Each structure stands twice: as structure tokens, then as C-alpha cells.
Amino acid sequence: MQRRHFHTIALGWAAATVLPAAHAQDSLREGTEYRRLAKPVPVDTGPGQVEVLEFFAYSCIHCYRFEPLMTDWMRKLPKEIVVRRVPVGFNAAFEPMQRLYYTLEALGRLGDLHEKAFKAVHEERARFNTADAVIAWAAQQGVDRQQFAQTYQSFGVSGKVKRALQLQDAYEVDATPSLGIAGRYLVPGQAARTLTVADALIARVRQA
């Protein structure tokens, strides 16, 4: 988990448990396993859809470990559940990583490079702390350097970074990974249990 103004800390991921889905809603602990937002956040989904936001950082080891679980969970979701990833910016050092994500998105390269970006940080000890470092890494992956650099500095990517900061503040995100559910709830990272809680809250929203 990565927190505002702090480095990654251990959370005992192996201790997480997953309860049967049928009992998930009844067993949820508000204030511990999820937080109800004091002020609802506007969502970008239509009627009958539920928006889920994954707040993450490439530098967060727990986000890296959570990523395979999240990806597998997303593959099984019904089409009414709309998931978007939101790279956090707890301080200025996070901005190059935010811009990396949104540049890959703009160039249609998240499918093959999102996971590689995580691996570069946590297995290859890459440091995405400057624009030059990010651009150099992207070029090594076969992305056109000039196109990547122009997109990285573009108005569109800058706007998405600004929007990501607004969303993390609106959801009161103070650690990663975390999931925002339907503009109403925030689920802090609890390994696989995170997704059990998310499933229960999504079901609650759809039943309302």
C-alpha cells in the first residue's frame, strides 16, 4: 500500500480471506473494509451502469501484486460494470507515472505495456521519476519516441492528470490500491478481499 507522504508499507497480504459471495453484503464492516463517502462523487456512466475506479501507482508494490487479481476480476464482470484505472498523484513525484499511464492510454498501448511498466519498476528497478526516464523507457519498448514525448506533454494528457487528482481528492484516497464504487464508497486495499467487498457494494448499488 502506498500512502500520501509515506513510502510503501507491509500489510500482511497473505492473511486476507474471501467470504462466500452470498454472505458478503451482510458481513461488510463499514469504516474498516470500506468507507461511505460523505459527499457523493459524480460518475461518468449511464443508467443501469456502475462505475468502479481503481486508484493505483506504478511505484506501489501492493498495486503490482494486486494487478493480476484486478485484471482477472475485470474479465469476469458483466458489461454493466465500467472499470477505469486512475493513477494517483500524492505529490509531484507521482506526475511522471500519471503521465506515463495516460500517454499509453492515448496511444492505445495499455494492453501490452501497462503490466510491463509495473514490472519495470518492481523487477527491473526502473525509476519513472522524470519525463526523460519515462520517455526513454517507452522508446525501449518500441514506441515512437517523438510521438510519445509529444503526447506525454499534450493538453489532453495534462487534463487527464488534473482530473485524476480531482477524483482522488473527491474519493478521499489516502492509500493505494483502493477502489471507488459508484461515487459512493471507497474500498481500501485488502488483497483478494478487496474484490469481495467491491462485489458486495456493487450488488448493493444495483439493488438500490
CATH code for the domain in which residue 164 is found: 3.40.30.10
Is 29 inside any structural domain? no
Quickly count: other Cβ atoms within 10 Å of residue 188's Cβ: 20
Within-domain flag for 18: no
pLDDT band of 1, cuts 50, 70, 90: low
Confirm whether pTM is higher than 0.95.
no
pLDDT tens-digit readout, 101-145: 999 999 999 999 999 999 999 999 999 999 999 999 999 999 999
Mean pLDDT of 26-38: 90
Q: What is the pLDDT of residues 38-70, one digit of tens each?
A: 999 999 999 999 999 999 999 999 999 999 999
Lowest mean pLDDT among 6-10, 80-84, 157-161, 169-173: 6-10
User: Has residue 132 been placed in a domain?
Assistant: yes
Q: Which domain holds residue 141?
A: 37-207
Total tally of structural domains belonging to the chain: 1
- 20-34, 64-78, 139-153, 168-182, range with the lowest pLDDT: 20-34
φ, ψ at 133 (rounded to 5°): -65, -45
The span from the first CA to the last CA of the chain, in angstroms, equals 31
Q: Are 86 and 101 in contact (CB under 8 A)?
A: no
- The pLDDT assigned to 208 comes to 82
Instruction: Decide which of 180 and 16 is more confident.
Output: 180
Rounded to 5°, the CA angle 76-141-74 comes to 10
